[in-house]
Amino acid sequence: MARIAGVDIPNEKRLDIALTYIYGIGRTNVVGVLKEAQLPPEKRVNTLTDEEVNKIAKIIEKGYTVEGDLRRQVHDNIKRLMEIHSYRGSRHAKNLPSRGQRTRSNARTKRGKRMTIGALKKDDRIKTDTTTGTAPAAEVKSAKG
């Protein structure tokens, strides 16, 4: 396994696909990196020489923000938005979508598992009343009348 930017690149994959395993390097950036390194994208990682791996590593290190630095930069940007109390920052703080998506339906990934708020079914209400120790509403009415 070749190691570039602190990431083990899979051996059996094509070079253009394998480089996308690095956080911050996508398909578009791979084209530029390989063109600058003068390497064919269809070449397999296990056929690379140490010199070619070093060439790719230098190009990525010099021209791109990747891995830990990029993650830190993104985290700092989100933290800054929350500190200045912008709308986007407040959406991040509440763990809701920040780019205008609807949340009445959907947004399950951000909001998590469904939780019913408000009206309960009759069976559920009876169960919660018996566990808390209070009498159900029907029994209270009959005792008064």
Question: Is residue 145 over pLDDT 60?
Answer: no
- CATH number of this structure's domain 2-67: 1.10.8.50
Res 138: pLDDT? 56
Rounded to whole angstroms, the Cα distance separating 141 from 106 reads 41
Res 123: pLDDT? 76
User: Domain map of the chain by residue range?
Assistant: 2-67, 120-145
Smallest CA-to-CA distance from 52 within 63, 41, 64 is with 41
Taking a C-beta distance cutoff of 8 angstroms, is the pair 15, 43 a contact?
A: yes
Report pLDDT digits (tens) over 76-117.
999 999 999 999 999 999 999 999 999 888 888 888 888 888
What CA dihedral angle connects 82, 83, 84 and 89, to 10 degrees?
0
Rounded to whole angstroms, the Cα distance separating 140 from 129 reads 12
